[in-house]
A = this chain, B = another copy of it.
Amino acid sequence: MKRIAVYPGSFDPVTNGHLDIIKRASGIFDELIVAVFNNPNKTPTFSMEERVALMEKVAGEVPGVRIDAFSGLLNEYAVKKNARNIVRGLRALSDFEKEFQQALMYKKLNPDLEIMFLMTSQDYGFLSSSLVKEIASLGGCIDGLVPEPVKEFLIEFYKNKDQRN
Query: Is A138 a contact partner of B28 (Cβ separation < 8 A)?
Result: no
- Besides A100-B119, A122-B122, 18 new A-B residue pairs in contact (Cβ under 8 A), listed by A number: A24-B114, A27-B114, A40-B138, A72-B139, A92-B92, A92-B104, A101-B126, A101-B131, A102-B131, A104-B125, A105-B126, A105-B135, A107-B122, A109-B135, A114-B118, A115-B118, A117-B118, A122-B126
User: How many copies, total?
Assistant: 6
* Interface of A: prevailing SS: mixed
Interface residues of A (CB under 8 A from B): 3, 24, 27-28, 40-41, 71-73, 75-76, 84-85, 90, 92-97, 100-105, 107-109, 114-119, 121-123, 125-128, 131, 134-135, 137-141, 144
